[in-house]
């Protein structure tokens, strides 16, 4: 008796415009087993990246807001040897920047699909911030832990950056 093979697995991706029908997809939007498996694996990976990015936005947003609010209210907590009004003023100005940065992280969290330009602006900010600490380290003004700690957000934001615009990703699927 011949061995019966199970029917081919089919995965629906929705109706497809015949003018842009992809190889491996029929007109009803049904993918064959291999294409469907690849699509499911890609969706799982994207889901993990999205979850990680959202967690990073929440943590970085909270840290930036807390640091900014504390420095606004009590600049001496950030820099204990503040003796001049100018130094306290400059710390408060930087604190205002951190409040804004924290709000931008939360904006990315709430507008995940439109986050690309804001995420890249946050990445630029963290690169500049880390660069200041590296320059101070090179001039022997800081311990190496300072630039290393400030480089961590650069790496994290770089890894989670949406390098391609959403329209580019849609065009690549077609």
Query: Which residues are paired to 31 by β-bridges?
Result: 11, 25
Token readout for 46 is 């994207």
Whether 90 and 139 have beta carbons less than 8 Å apart is answered as: no
Whether the per-residue pLDDT at 32 is higher than 80: the answer is: no
Q: Please give the Cα distance from 104 to 100 (Å, whole number).
A: 6
Do the Cβ atoms of 155 and 148 come closer than 8 Å?
Answer: no
Per-residue model confidence (pLDDT) at position 158: 95
> Looking at residue 27, what is its pLDDT?
52
63-122 pLDDT, tens digit each: 999 999 999 999 988 888 877 889 999 999 999 999 999 999 999 999 999 999 999 999
How many CB atoms sit inside 10 A of residue 61's CB? 20
Decide if pLDDT at 10 tops 70.
no
DSSP single-letter state for residue 111 = T
pLDDT bucket at 17, cuts 50 / 70 / 90: low
Percentage of the chain modeled with pLDDT above 90: 54
* Listed range (27-31, 85-89, 101-105, 158-162) with the worst mean pLDDT: 27-31
Question: Per-residue pLDDT for 11 more than 80?
Answer: no
Distance in angstroms (rounded) separating the CA atoms of residues 170 and 165: 9
Name the average pLDDT for the chain.
Answer: 81
| pLDDT > 80? residue 143 | yes
pTM value is: 0.70
């Amino acid at each position: 008796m011949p061995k019966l093979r199970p029917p081919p697995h089919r995965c629906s991706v929705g109706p497809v415009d015949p003018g842009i029908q992809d190889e491996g997809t029929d007109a009803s939007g049904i993918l064959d087993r291999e294409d469907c498996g690849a699509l499911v694996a890609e969706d799982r990976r994207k889901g993990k990246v999205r979850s990680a990015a959202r967690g990073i936005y929440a943590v970085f947003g909270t840290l930036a807001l807390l640091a900014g609010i504390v420095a606004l209210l009590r600049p001496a907590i950030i820099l204990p040897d503040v003796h001049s009004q100018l130094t306290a003023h400059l710390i408060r100005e930087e604190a205002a920047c951190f409040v804004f940065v924290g709000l931008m992280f939360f904006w990315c969290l709430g507008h995940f699909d439109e986050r690309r330009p804001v995420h890249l602006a946050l990445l630029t900010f963290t690169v500049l911030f880390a660069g200041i600490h590296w320059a101070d380290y090179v001039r022997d003004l800081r311990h190496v832990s300072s630039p290393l700690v400030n480089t961590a957000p650069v790496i994290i934001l770089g890894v989670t950056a949406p390098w391609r615009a959403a329209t580019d990703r849609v065009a690549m699927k077609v």
